[in-house]
Structure 1
């Protein structure tokens, strides 16, 4: 379930690096997009690791993985 969005982010990242030279007006926009995609990809990796870890635990242990903040 989390693999499809992650694969799409990787594709977007690869497509952004394929883009050739851009005009001076667009350099900051392209750089910003690349940073955003990279940050989103890192967050997706973190979420995937959590889900993998969560699913490998028993039901009882899963409940302890979340804490209530009051």
Structure 2
């Protein structure tokens, strides 16, 4: 199985919110920080991945966050 990207962006606050939600649901994740430390928020992005098996559950949880 492969990992599927569920979030990419520059907001560290949003990233923490999603990671906390995934942890509370017992969903394992993998994160990549591709932000340029010299130009934080301008160049690069944060990425969050979950396993293919957890993708549907994680996607549903993300929809709930966006609707709040």
Quickly name the TM-score band, shorter chain normalised.
0.3 to 0.5
Greater strand share, structure number: 2
Return the structure number with greater helix share. 1
- TM-score, normalising length from structure 2? 0.33
Larger radius of gyration: 1
